[in-house]
Amino acid sequence: NAGVTQTPKFQVLKTGQSMTLQCAQDMNHNSMYWYRQDPGMGLRLIYYSASEGTTDKGEVPNGYNVSRLNKREFSLRLESAAPSQTSVYFCASSGTGVEGETQYFGPGTRLLVL
């Protein structure tokens, strides 16, 4: 089992460019999440998907869009990147029921916007 995988690992963008961060999980989890991590701020939820076909905004959704392509894959898109979006992005997934509260994280994507 690979768990949660993310691509790319690193990316440098110029202001205004667009890109899509990919995330996939092989644990048959229903729920998937995108977080950003910034120094001194912990992790903040951008978007989440409670099940295939549904997505909802988290704490910091502005400037991002998401797609739950199927049960395995959840992508995050930056339509017009800004320097404020320089961050480390983590994807996570979880199952359902009481034990579903545990989230499993990918290794992260480090994004620099110039």
Residue 111 interacts with another protein (CB under 8 A): yes or no: no
Site string for another protein, 41-80 (x = CB under 8 A): xxxxx--x-x-------x----------------------
Strand blocks (E) in the chain: 4-7, 10-13, 19-25, 31-38, 42-49, 56-57, 65-68, 74-78, 87-94, 104-105, 109-113
User: Is residue 4 near another protein by the rule CB under 8 A?
Assistant: yes
By C-beta, is 19 or 45 nearer to another protein? 45
Phi (first) and psi of residue 24, to 5 degrees:
-140, 145
Instruction: Write out the residues near another protein by the rule CB under 8 A.
Output: 4, 31, 33, 40-45, 48, 50, 58, 90, 92, 94, 98-108
